[in-house]
Structure 1
């Protein structure tokens, strides 16, 4: 079975809140949520990037509006709780491990365990002067999204808006440039998902490492502000980076509608567009399991096999499918972590 690396999930949030999908280690016959250990093993998921995420204390009435920034002290506390949960899973079973370097990732690709890469979605937990970045690294941080779809001290996110451009708002702040440099120095992946266009181009002009967008769709197919324009895709390819194709239907469907009512072909259209524009070597998977509505034809993590089968039916070779399934993520993570 071809192993899979998935570039983004929100399962940690489900495990530390009252959302469905919190029982990651339970072998439930009728599990909640999109992802747990039993189903990950069934699907051949070798590793996933597990996001620590800090929700707003109240949800916006209109998702096309940017939610307000969150307070740093609260964000740091919630991220610490979610990272502790990740380590508790690894302590509880040898079927799961926290990934800290490329050797850990390779062991998971070899089938030793399912692995989790600790990630923060939105850098609000980081002090603006970066004084706690090293301690976050020591607790496992290996990938950092500069923003979620709201502002923070470092950058500006995009709203969840359809028929809109990602070219919304200013670029990185002075602290944002410092954060990007500090992450590159330490080997913490800088993830550009949810970042506005100005911030994207600021990072593209700053780092020597491959550009990474963990979960997004193609703006040419679904013109959401969250999705990447062809010009952005060109920049990712030129850097040797990758885009993890989101499974979130609101960013896959050309009409921007939420819900599970979207065929697998909708997702495959985006993967195919990425491959045609950038080359297969820059395309990966970034499901957003437990963080978005995924197509009913995928259903949950076990549907990853159906995605690979769908790519085969569209003429992607075995080498292509292996690159998309795990090879491209492995290459890019190794470049950042080294």
Structure 2
């Protein structure tokens, strides 16, 4: 079984919601959701980025929003900024939940590529602590504290404004050019992340913010869970110009499995087959090359394709890539090795 290293999941939300039962849901599953340990093992998943994320009062999975997104065109207004004092307790709770999973002995929070490879060799899940939206980081001193706690990947924004920049709305059809770039605090955040070798994630960032990070950062540019704008013109997807900028930096894009970012019509309905995913991968490979394309599922955070309903179904995607003409070496690069190589270049260890 070809191993899969995943660029993004929202599983920690389910752990927190389950309270004291969270570790059991990880170890045994509960019949719901996209990810747990049995599903990961069944699908060949060896690790991934586990996101700390602060929910807005209203989001893309609300019933009224889902109905709107099923019938494009649509444009959701950006949610309000989440104040730091509200965000921080949520973030602490999620970081603690990830540590609780580590105490089960089945998962390690990894902070180096050497450690990642040791964890995988020992048969445990390699988890990268990622923060999606930096509302819980008040200043650079706090960033250093989070780094000491294990944070190694950071997206300055989710799809709303923060003190650091501006996210794109959920909108179709829509350009990602939707507002201002990074604030001065955001530019300082980029420089400090470079110093600490924290990976910066461009997914959810608007085009002006993307360009600011591209101009400031000395690390490879990364979009952990994004798709191709030329196929699906969603504000959340990357234009060919953005893809070329990432390619020029030696960076990487992890393909998002969210049906509404894959489908040409942008509808929030299950993708009927994996052919469209392969078209997105072909397009990414054409611009980024064989070393710049990976996977970023968005498990437990988005509507999955019918043939890829959860992590246990990952062999369906691997088989589809093989049947599409990708050789084993390329499939293994896309499935895991490109992420690990990117982390080595970014973390330096």
Q: TM-score, normalised by structure 1?
A: 0.95
Aligned length: 334
Instruction: Report the 3-state secondary structure (helix = DSSP H, G, I; strand = E; otherwise coil) of the residue aligned with 1:334.
Output: helix
Equivalence map 1:140-289=2 (5 Å) = 140-289=150-299
What's the CA shift for 1:18? 6.4
User: Residues 105-144 of structure 1, C-alpha deviation per residue, up to 9 Å, x if partnerless?
Assistant: 11234253111100000111111x3221111111111100
- Alignment equivalent of 1:65, drawn from 43, 56, 77: 77
Unaligned 5+ segments in structure 1 are none
Aligned-partner Cα distance in 2 for 1:191–1:308 = 25
Whether the 8 Å CA contact 1:46–1:111 is kept in 2: the answer is: no
Q: Describe the shift of the 1:239–1:124 C-alpha distance in structure 2 as closer, same or farther (beyond 3 A).
A: same
User: Residues 161-198 of structure 1, C-alpha deviation per residue, up to 9 Å, x if partnerless?
Assistant: 01110011011110001001101110110000000001
1:122 equivalenced with 2:123 (yes/no): no
2:44 is aligned to 44
Instruction: Report the 3-state secondary structure (helix = DSSP H, G, I; strand = E; otherwise coil) of the residue aligned with 1:304.
Output: helix
Whether the 8 Å CA contact 2:262–2:271 is kept in 1: the answer is: no
What's the CA shift for 1:59? 4.0
Aligned-partner Cα distance in 2 for 1:144–1:217 = 19
Aligned-partner Cα distance in 2 for 1:59–1:322 = 34
Whether the 8 Å CA contact 1:268–1:307 is kept in 2: the answer is: no
Q: What do you get for the CA RMSD once the two structures are aligned?
A: 1.7
Q: Which has the higher contact order (CA 8 A, sep 6+)?
A: 2
Aligned-partner Cα distance in 2 for 1:141–1:10 = 15
Whether the 8 Å CA contact 1:211–1:240 is kept in 2: the answer is: yes
Q: Describe the shift of the 1:59–1:315 C-alpha distance in structure 2 as closer, same or farther (beyond 3 A).
A: closer
Aligned-partner Cα distance in 1 for 2:137–2:162 = 10
1:84 equivalenced with 2:96 (yes/no): yes
